[in-house]
Amino acid sequence: MRDIYMDNSATTPLSKAAKDKISEAVEVFGNPSSLHSAGQAAQKLVDEARARLLSALGVRQRQGSFVFTSCGTEATSFALFGCAYAKTRRDATRILTTDSEHPSVARALDRLSLDGFEIVKIPTKNGVLDKEALKKALDKKIFLATFMLVNNETGAIYDVAGAFAEIKRAYPNAITHCDAVQGFMKLPFTPTALHADLITVSGHKLHAPKGVGGLYISAEMLKAKKIVPFLVGGGQESGMRSGTENVIGISAFGAAVNDIMGRRAEISKKISKLREYAEEKLSKIDVRINRPSGEYLPSIINITLPSIKSETMLHHLSADGIYVSSGSACSSHSAHPSESLIAFGLTPKEADCSLRISLSEYNEKEDIDALVASLSVGLERLVRIR
Ligand code: PLP
């Protein structure tokens, strides 16, 4: 029996392009900081990957930089703490965010609140950013806004461009950061279109290996020294992120991005068709699809089971070789109901009975058939909770 992997929002299998690049890069063992040829060969791989990332982000020359990090979480900590350390405006104490951010943002903000920042969370009921609440939160005290582009549990696409444009119009000095980990290479956007000064991305969500991510930083942020490094030391990555670069991971990240670049429309079409097929099949069994009322990414399908704990169903599916998720990979370590699903409007019990199915271009219709067949058996056999 072939394993059926439908947990692509947690992580993805490596693409052939990434694997091929890894085979090439393992032979290049020099330290990119070394001045000899072995070092420069490694630096060349890093530079090539950086150029690919900047091109995929639609960054024009001298408009901004891309700093490699160890993952999306580190990129976000760098963005949020790096700006907080650099802050000079004493009156800027308010940070705007949503009530459904990934823990890499939410927990970083918990820390900043201990440092005296006031965190204002904009509601995202039914997967839609509340524009009225945003208007009310606008104030000259705004220091920074951090909004995710795509919610990792529901697939909801938030109107980050609209929100950041409004914030910048009212307060041009406010810094805007977008966690685009789930949207990068799936949705078309550029820093200019998003009105974003900082953008977090991660490699392992798009068929690159785990252990590599990065932060886009606008030239203006660097010039005005509105961000300082989070990791300090040897001054790698133009002084913005010390630590010897993960050359193999970085070059595979570049290759994975490059592989998707020319095929974005084709991949998106395939996944949209799979989504349609999955919705049709799921509508015939006793589950509810938590479909955002605004725009959403077709690859993420969140369902609520009728009084069956998601973990119980997850293990039943896993025994059949079908892999989905009972919330984000991070929140599966926690006993609390998912903040994202509660923000969406689910009760704690419903959140506890919800599964996330996340597709990639490597899934086929047969995978959906197998999932729905196994879900149907589970719905009949598994113990219901009160
Ligand atoms: N942001 C979002 C929306 C995510 O879904 C994730 C991972 O699930 C992250 C950030 C963290 O990325 P990483 O696993 O690279 O640290």
* Residue ranges of the chain with per-residue pLDDT less than 70: 1, 327-335
Residue 322 is predicted with a pLDDT of 98
Which residue in this structure is represented by tokens 């929002």? 9
Cα gap 12→360, rounded to integer Å? 8
Residue 99 is predicted with a pLDDT of 98
User: What's the pLDDT tens digit per position in 109-138?
Assistant: 999 999 999 999 999 999 999 999 999 999
Residue 235, Ramachandran bin (φ over 0: left; ψ between -120 and 50: alpha; else beta): left
Cα gap 336→372, rounded to integer Å? 27
Cα gap 50→215, rounded to integer Å? 11
Please give the distance, rounded to the nearest whole angstrom, from the Cα atom of residue 384 to the centre of ligand 1: 32
Mean residue pLDDT of the chain comes to: 96
Cα gap 213→205, rounded to integer Å? 10
178 is catalytic: no
Is the Cβ atom of 72 under 6 angstroms away from ligand 1?
Answer: yes
Q: Which residues pair with 202 in a beta bridge?
A: 213
Nearest CA to ligand 1 atom 5: 152
pTM of the model: 0.97
Residue 332 is predicted with a pLDDT of 54
Index of the ligand 1 atom closest to the CA of residue 202: 15
Is the Cβ atom of 8 under 6 angstroms away from ligand 1?
Answer: no
Residue 335 is predicted with a pLDDT of 64
Q: What is the DSSP string of 162-231?
A: HHHHHHHHH-TTSEEEEE-TTTTTTS---HHHHT-SEEEEESGGGTSPSS-EEEEEEHHHHHTT----SS
Tell me the pairing of strands 4-5 and 142-148: unpaired
Catalytic residue among 71, 83, 178, 330: 330
Please give the distance, rounded to the nearest whole angstrom, from the Cα atom of residue 308 to the centre of ligand 1: 27
Is the Cβ atom of 182 under 6 angstroms away from ligand 1?
Answer: yes
Helix axes 264-282 and 365-381, enclosed angle (nearest 10): 30
Index of the ligand 1 atom closest to the CA of residue 203: 15
Write 89-92 long-range contacts (CB < 8 A, 24+).
89/143, 89/173, 91/140, 91/141, 92/141, 92/142, 92/143, 92/144, 92/173, 92/174
Secondary structure (3-state) at 64? strand
How far CA 233 is from CA of 29, 33, 169, 239, 242, in Å, comes to 21, 13, 37, 8, 5
Q: What is the DSSP string of 106-151?
A: HHHHHHHHHTTPEEEEEP-GGG---HHHHHHH--TTEEEEEEESB-
Please give the distance, rounded to the nearest whole angstrom, from the Cα atom of residue 25 to the centre of ligand 1: 25
Ligand 1, residues 73, 150, 333, 339: which to mutate, most atoms within 8 A of Cβ?
73
Cα gap 310→316, rounded to integer Å? 10
Please give the distance, rounded to the nearest whole angstrom, from the Cα atom of residue 209 to the centre of ligand 1: 13
Ligand 1, residues 11, 12, 152, 297: which to mutate, most atoms within 8 A of Cβ?
152
Residue 1 is predicted with a pLDDT of 67
H-state helical runs in 57-119:
72-86, 103-114
User: What's the pLDDT tens digit per position in 130-183?
Assistant: 999 999 999 999 999 999 999 999 999 999 999 999 999 999 999 999 999 999
Is the Cβ atom of 102 under 6 angstroms away from ligand 1?
Answer: yes
Index of the ligand 1 atom closest to the CA of residue 148: 3
User: What's the pLDDT tens digit per position in 252-267?
Assistant: 999 999 999 999 999 9
Please give the distance, rounded to the nearest whole angstrom, from the Cα atom of residue 41 to the centre of ligand 1: 30
Cα gap 265→250, rounded to integer Å? 25
Residue 76 is predicted with a pLDDT of 98
